[in-house]
Structure 1
Amino acid sequence: MADVPTKTARAEWGTRFGFLMAMIGAMVGAGNIWRFPYVMGNNGGGAFVLAFLSLLFVLAVPGLMAEVALGRYTNKGIIGAFRDVVGRGGMVGFGVVVLLVNIALMSYYSPVIAWTLYYAVHSLLFTFTAPGFEAEAFMNALFDNAALMIGLHTVVMGSIAAVLALGIRRGVERIVVYAVPALVVSLVVMMIRGLTLPGASEGIAFAFGIQWEYLTYSDTWITALGQALFSTGLGWGIALTIGSYLREYDDVPLGGGVFTAIGESSIGILAALAIFPIVFAVGVDPDVGAGLAFISLVQVFPEIPLGGLVAILFFVGFFLATFTSGLLITEVSVTTLSEETRLSRTQTVFGVCGGIWLLGLPSAYSVEILDYLDFVFGNWGLPLATIAIIGTIGWVLGPERLRLLAVNRNAGVYVGRWWDPVIKYVIPGVMLFIMAYFAYDNFRSPEMIGGMVVLVLFPTVGYVVMSIVEGRGGPPERADVPGGDD
């Protein structure tokens, strides 16, 4: 009898808390502490919050349920999941689209993690409470030092590779169960202090007073859409990958949808409450851009009793949260490519991290490049990836089938038939309308042109690549299942 290679069991989350913290930790930090306040400041404050919350609960909650459930249904990474649904052939290229968007996003996200690492180190050195400290000059000095930024970017990707090489339980889960709660505690401390500063009421008015005219601007809606996807991880392939490691009795609707959306939006609003009162109290422009969290927050530490210790709590927690996001974003590519190649998990980890490091060099070198890529991929690439996932579920697999077989399996919150047309019609329709509205309103702008390139190039590359791969018989047989813990 011929020897048959044995397969080890696919890795699972060790606890439900670990699964929930992975879902929250995937985007908390960048999506909420860094990105949410500055895009909110650029788009009218309260009007943006209203647009964001509307899209969050109309699109992101049911969409997250669908993406997590697809991972549970297939127990595979992105490309394997698409292959199970659409069969072999070029249409599996939709999975490649998601993978390409994920890698592109991580390439400029790693330098953001590097910012938080730099600030965390300086918090330990009590730099922010030293006499004569200038927040804006400090940040600009970091951005202008390309060698330092590239070095920090290298440290970040090397550290991510080291943790991912340990696997799901021994690596990722051990980080996320501590990082997210620590960040929430530090944000609460910052919010309490910020609300007691002179001028804080102006920050609250800006954050939650609605300037209705902003709701007629295409920029507000395309940015709110990008933020809803960025802050929840919908369309990154993260939820699909996390779902593929679910245990039999984990709850998709509650953990993968409702809990994640409420947790993400709550932390984003908490960050706004921590930042905008300080912004107005110290006289910083609320639409300063991507450096907002790194300018305004550090100016309050000298005003707080034991401010140096609070700075350590905040920036170490901030770094851990952004680092957790980086782990889970990168895990998407690792899981998928481990399944699709003959490489071991360790080889895949170092190959993926090396590739992301190389692609991230331009963003590490220039914050202007990072800002542009964030707009193009956050507001065009993410919707494209989300439509690829949700469209495949809605029009190929069938939302009713997925709802019965995976979404409501051992669910504490039952999802009814209302979910089916939302997945099939509402989510793709709303997203396509917002993207078309922005393209019409910003015809020939650099952001519109960059978005069009992504919309055309990524599906074309995905289709061609998978047509070639599938034509050769698909991925090689493997004797192990990636992601396992020894």
Structure 2
Amino acid sequence: MANSEAKTARAEWGTRFGFLMAMIGGVVGAGNIWRFPYIMGENGGGAFILAFFTLMIVLAVPGLMAEVALGRYASKGVIGAFRDITGPGGLVGFGVVVVLVNIALMSYYSPVVGWTLYYAVHSLLFTFTTPAFEAETFMNGLFANSTLLIGLHTVVMGSIAAILLLGIRKGIERIVVYAVPALVVSLFIMMIRGLTLPGATDGIAFAFTVDWAYLTYSSTWIEALGQALFSTGLGWGIALTVGSYLREYDDVPLGGGVFTAIGDSSIGILASLAIFPVVFAVDGVEPDAGAGLAFVSLVQVFPEIPLGGLVGIVFFVGFFLATFTSGVVITEVSVTTVYEETRFTRPQTIFGVCGLIWVAGLPSAYSVDILDYVDFVVGSWGLPLATLSIITAIGWIMGPERLRLLVVNRNAGIHIGSWWDPVIKYVVPAVMLFIMGYYAYDQFGSPEMIGGVVILITFPLVSYAIMSVADRDQTDYDAERAPVSGGDD
């Protein structure tokens, strides 16, 4: 359907704080509170933290700067930004890869947001402080009720669509500036109480004692890579999309790179400090309990805390808002891109994208086992593929020096030197390819590796084919939809 409205000026973040909270709100959520502690527990505790922080410094910080800068440079969604670099044609498929991975990630992230919604509602009902409450039975009952899980998934995607209909400032920015601080406060409360429990020192020792053997396992590094990308949003298109709404004088290196990486890592560690002391203080809960760790261990401490029911409300409402805001920003990546690349209105685009994610997420909503498998395959293979697409376009087609001089250091409080250029061009892709190759060699023939190979082959081929056809008449299409006003952004 043709859109007769001329698309003029793009929206912008109203404040720098709004931009920073959008970055943090987009990447901080279930990845930090749900995924980080249990992945850490399954991969040696302190050894995983060491691998994770190494990859954060080497990959995430420079990569986030690059992705935010690309968004500001193009002032467009993912596909439009790639077209500005590569020109029209099949190579724009690099951007389609990012969108496909984004939709795949959101398809199983939405059911997880549904879990947090369910727990938030029950915290308001003071369920967790009733005398007969059993945390593991409660969680298993939720996971066994497929109808309820699909219903929660539906509510989440419907709510995300409603927020996106309000726009950037009135919708996304208005919610993230409250949700992220609320989460941090609730985690501090949980951490302080957890550190006073018997066995807390064992939890701290598990979290920070390094078992060096784990650093030789390919699974530790592929999980650390997936977590670094999952928790920072590098490769999701989040940083690119958020960066495309930057104002002229906002700071890319400080806000888009350093602040986001430090804030994201800090909340992941804070969540671990809130969870692992409780795990070691409560009998029958293991640190490698898997995806249900946060939903079992945390709720068991509420009856032991003065006003524990109120603390439970603070935590789970904050947890839900954090995961929900992540879902909103993640979905906006695809909405922005599809809206700019098609003739649909923004409301039509929102309903179409949210509907597609809802359908794609039904298997993960129906079965937690399917969700776990999709999480590993997409998180460990799809995300690196999307990240490599962005880094390759910047490092080998546009050129990192050009982006650094034109955008990264513009109005920057931290000057980025020429060292950044080879890091983006050589170091980031080399490290990622080595980790992926090491795991593929070590786990040859496993279901997880086979699923990863399917993504690595099909996503680029499908994306290249789509853009080879779609961009044949791109010049005429751009002329038809050219903005009325003549900006130079």
Q: 1:96-130, CA deviations, whole angstroms, 9 ceiling, x for partnerless residues?
A: 00000000000000000000000000000000000
SS at match of 1:412: coil
Question: Aligned partners of 1:386, 1:350: CA distance in 2, in Å?
Answer: 27
TM-score by length of 2: 0.96
SS at match of 2:474: coil
Question: Aligned partners of 1:62, 1:480: CA distance in 2, in Å?
Answer: 32
Q: How does 1:109-188 map to 2 (within 5 A)?
A: 109-188=109-188
SS at match of 2:287: coil
Q: Is the 8 A contact 2:165 2:347 kept in 1?
A: yes
**Structure 1 partner of 2:388:** 387
State the shift of 1:5 in Å.
Answer: 7.1
The more displaced of 354-363 and 22-31 is: 22-31
State the shift of 1:18 in Å.
Answer: 0.4
**Structure 2 partner of 1:472:** 473
Question: Aligned partners of 2:457, 2:58: CA distance in 1, in Å?
Answer: 27
Q: Is the 8 A contact 1:165 1:349 kept in 2?
A: yes
Question: Aligned partners of 2:483, 2:5: CA distance in 1, in Å?
Answer: 8
State the shift of 1:471 in Å.
Answer: 1.9
**Structure 2 partner of 1:303:** 304
Question: Aligned partners of 2:329, 2:195: CA distance in 1, in Å?
Answer: 33
Q: What residue identity is the alignment partner of 2:427?
A: V
Q: How does 1:246-395 map to 2 (within 5 A)?
A: 246-283=246-283, 284-395=285-396
State the shift of 1:327 in Å.
Answer: 0.4
Question: Aligned partners of 2:322, 2:179: CA distance in 1, in Å?
Answer: 5
State the shift of 1:221 in Å.
Answer: 0.2
TM-score by length of 1: 0.97
Q: Is the 8 A contact 1:5 1:479 kept in 2?
A: no
Q: How does 1:25-104 map to 2 (within 5 A)?
A: 25-104=25-104
Q: Is the 8 A contact 2:30 2:112 kept in 1?
A: yes
State the shift of 1:295 in Å.
Answer: 0.4
**Which consecutive aligned stretches of 4+ in structure 1 deviate over 6 angstroms post-superposition?**
none
Q: Note the residue ranges of structure 1 that are not aligned, 5 or more in a row.
A: 482-486
SS at match of 2:8: coil
Q: Is the 8 A contact 2:382 2:456 kept in 1?
A: yes
State the shift of 1:353 in Å.
Answer: 0.3
Q: Is the 8 A contact 2:29 2:322 kept in 1?
A: yes
State the shift of 1:40 in Å.
Answer: 0.2
Q: Is the 8 A contact 1:111 1:153 kept in 2?
A: yes
Q: 1:321-367, CA deviations, whole angstroms, 9 ceiling, x for partnerless residues?
A: 00000000000000000000010111100100001000000000000
The more displaced of 4-13 and 407-416 is: 4-13
**Structure 2 partner of 1:231:** 231
Q: 1:36-78, CA deviations, whole angstroms, 9 ceiling, x for partnerless residues?
A: 0000001000000000000001100000000000000000000
Question: Aligned partners of 1:226, 1:5: CA distance in 2, in Å?
Answer: 41
Question: Aligned partners of 1:121, 1:480: CA distance in 2, in Å?
Answer: 45
Question: Aligned partners of 1:148, 1:31: CA distance in 2, in Å?
Answer: 23
Q: Is the 8 A contact 2:52 2:225 kept in 1?
A: yes
**Structure 2 partner of 1:457:** 458
Q: 1:395-423, CA deviations, whole angstroms, 9 ceiling, x for partnerless residues?
A: 00000000000100100111000000000
**Structure 1 partner of 2:221:** 221
1:437–1:249 distance in 2 versus 1, CA, 3 Å? same
1:125–1:387 distance in 2 versus 1, CA, 3 Å? same
State the shift of 1:473 in Å.
Answer: 3.2
Q: Is the 8 A contact 2:28 2:323 kept in 1?
A: yes
RMSD in angstroms over aligned alpha carbons? 1.2
The more displaced of 6-15 and 320-329 is: 6-15
Q: What residue identity is the alignment partner of 1:439?
A: A
Q: Is the 8 A contact 1:102 1:236 kept in 2?
A: yes
SS at match of 1:161: helix
Question: Aligned partners of 2:474, 2:305: CA distance in 1, in Å?
Answer: 63
Question: Aligned partners of 2:8, 2:80: CA distance in 1, in Å?
Answer: 18
Q: Share of identical aligned residues, percent?
A: 78
SS at match of 2:319: helix
Question: Aligned partners of 2:234, 2:202: CA distance in 1, in Å?
Answer: 33
Question: Aligned partners of 2:131, 2:5: CA distance in 1, in Å?
Answer: 65
Q: Is the 8 A contact 1:339 1:478 kept in 2?
A: no
SS at match of 1:351: helix
Question: Aligned partners of 1:349, 1:443: CA distance in 2, in Å?
Answer: 40
Question: Aligned partners of 2:407, 2:303: CA distance in 1, in Å?
Answer: 51
Q: Note the residue ranges of structure 2 that are not aligned, 5 or more in a row.
A: 485-489
1:177–1:480 distance in 2 versus 1, CA, 3 Å? farther
SS at match of 1:56: helix
Q: What residue identity is the alignment partner of 1:164?
A: L
